[in-house]
Homo-oligomer: A and B are copies of this chain.
Amino acid sequence: MPARLTLVLGGARSGKSAHAEALARGAAVAGVLPAYVATAEALDAEMAERIARHRADRDGQFETFETTLDLGETLRRAAARGAPVLVDCLTLWITNLMVHERDIAAAVADFGDALDAVEVPVVLVANEVGLGIVPDNAMARRFRDEAGRLNQRLAARAETVLFIAAGLPLRLKG
């Protein structure tokens, strides 16, 4: 069990990442930058530009770890530094696993084991994606199912769960 697990949920452009970053910085110990585990994969120019902008935004405030698939392993490495770890975001990670046709159940189980093993505060960012109309294509529906299921599972084990809208937090738990 990590010292403390916080799940930050929200929609696109809800301010969830900024809120989660503030939580991770607030939990940091003096002299050690918190870790930032980024899961975004630059599949096109638009994504590459977003990733570069986000990296510049957190320059000097976080030690960055990048991973697109092996989140459990990266969480273990990031946590070994002894500072809080922020993972942004789980929903992109699920997307990556689907795009690369990985075994999602196995990857989620490994990530769960890593969460059990680490001893630093962990802040997880995830998108809420199930509140629009049913998507046309089966892939998007499966993605929505996988993302929603992971959110439920992590919310059940987190001490604190927040839902962010327009930059403001609603406390779902803790």
Q: A11-B128, A133-B132, A133-B144 are in contact. Are A172 and B165 (CB under 8 A)?
A: yes
Question: How many residues on A have C-beta within 8 angstroms of the other chain's C-beta atoms?
Answer: 41
- Interface SS majority for chain A: mixed
13 A-B residue pairs with Cβ-Cβ distance under 8 Å, sorted by A, are A11-B129, A13-B147, A13-B149, A14-B130, A46-B141, A128-B166, A131-B132, A133-B140, A151-B165, A152-B166, A155-B166, A155-B167, A163-B165
Interface residues, chain A, with chain B CB atoms under 8 Å away: 7, 9-15, 46, 126, 128-135, 138, 140-141, 143-145, 147-149, 151-152, 154-156, 161, 163, 165-168, 170, 172-173
Partner of A134, one of B12, B126, B165, B166: B12
Residues B144 and A168 in contact, CB atoms below 8 Å apart:
no
CA gap between A11 and B36 in the complex, in Å: 29
- The chain B residue with its CB closest to the CB of A169 is B172
| Interface-central residue, A13, A141, A145, by most chain B CB under 10 Å | A13
CB distance from A69 to the nearest CB of B (A): 19
Q: Are B143 and A133 in contact, with the CB atoms below 8 A?
A: yes
Query: Of all chain B residues, which has the CB nearest A147?
Result: B13
Complex-state Cα separation, A129 to B165, whole angstroms: 10
**Please, which residue of chain B has its CB at the minimum distance from the CB of A138?**
B46
